[in-house]
Amino acid sequence: EVQLVESGGGLVQPGGSLRLSCAASGFTFSTFWMTWVRQAPGKGLEWVANIKEDGGQKYYVDSVKGRFTISRDNAKKSLYLQMNSLRAEDTAVYYCASSRFNMVGYMDVWGKGTTVTVSS
Amino acid sequence: SYELTQPPSVSVSPGQTARITCSGDALPKKYAYWYQQRSGQAPVVVIYEDSKRPSGIPERFSGSSSGTMATLTISGAQVDDEADYYCYSTDSSGNYVFGTGTEVTVL
């Protein structure tokens, strides 16, 4: 079964750090772009970052540049999002998604999301 | 930063046609993708590359793009189509962005 499962969310104080993980199964993870998308409570979807198959290209939304780092381990079929200097506005459900048809904008497989809450 | 603008809400009667627009300066050169998100669920792509429909998506969903506007059309809307819809595209620098989102109500 083609599947993505996120983990690592939780409650963290402002200024703290979290590392999200996304485990892939059922498809050849190493050959596809991967993306993190988040959704704040009651708000719309926001693209956070994406990473090329070999990790050689990475892109970030301006609001997380310098604080978040996207990475992947193709041997472990896993995607990561290291989040530092967290702010209240980073509170959201974080989804990972894959683009399995060689179109970066076509995210055909999504995880169920992991919740990050930044609060004191 | 690049923005994609959508109407906040669209209301349609069952069996009628709903049209959702997405406006962005880079759309003449970049593809639009459309995502459906039902309450409490992860998004699902319903249109890719402006007008192509993924396998398994009903034929009543169609897409088009002209100039700086992309449009998602739901022909013969059903109650099951009630959801939030987001366009998605990229600017010239590789960054992606979702549209502001449109809540579709079928009643």
State the pLDDT at residue B1: 87
- The per-residue pLDDT for range B4-34, each reduced to its tens digit, is 999 999 999 999 999 999 999 999 999 999 9
Rg of chain A in Å (alpha carbons):
13
CA distance A113 to chain B (A): 8
pLDDT digit string (tens) for B55-78? 999 999 999 999 999 999 999 999
Q: How sure is the predictor about A103, in pLDDT bands with cuts at 50, 70 and 90?
A: confident
Of residues B1, B99, B101, nearest to A62 (C-beta): B1
Q: For A67, which DSSP code?
A: T
Q: Is the pLDDT of residue A77 over 90?
A: yes
The residue among A38, A40, A88 whose CA lies nearest residue A50 is A38
Task: Give A101's pLDDT tier (boundaries 50, 70, 90).
Answer: confident
On whether the CB atoms of residues B26 and B92 are closer than 8 A, the answer is yes
The pLDDT, as a whole number, for residue A18 is 98
Best A33, A45, A70, A102 member to test B by mutation, with max B CBs in 10 Å, is A45
Of residues A104 and B16, more confidence is placed in B16
**Residue A102 confidence class, pLDDT cut points 50, 70, 90:** confident
Q: Which chain A residue lies closest to B34 (C-alpha atoms)?
A: A106
User: Would you state the structure tokens that stand for residue A119, as one six-digit string?
Assistant: 């609060």
Instruction: Report the 3 state secondary structure along B4-68.
Output: CECCCEEEECCCCCEEEEEECCCCCCCCCEEEEECCCCCCEEEEECCCECCCCCCCCEEEEEECC
**What pLDDT shows up at residue A9?**
97
Tokens encoding A95: 């989804």
Of A60, A103, A111, the CB nearest to B49: A103
Residues of chain B neighbouring A106 (CB-CB closer than 8 A): 33, 45, 48-49, 54
Strands (E), chain A: 3-7, 10-12, 18-25, 33-39, 45-51, 58-60, 68-73, 78-83, 92-99, 109-110, 114-118
**Local confidence band at A33 (pLDDT 50, 70, 90 cut-offs):** very high
Rounded to whole angstroms, the Cα distance separating A3 from A111 reads: 7
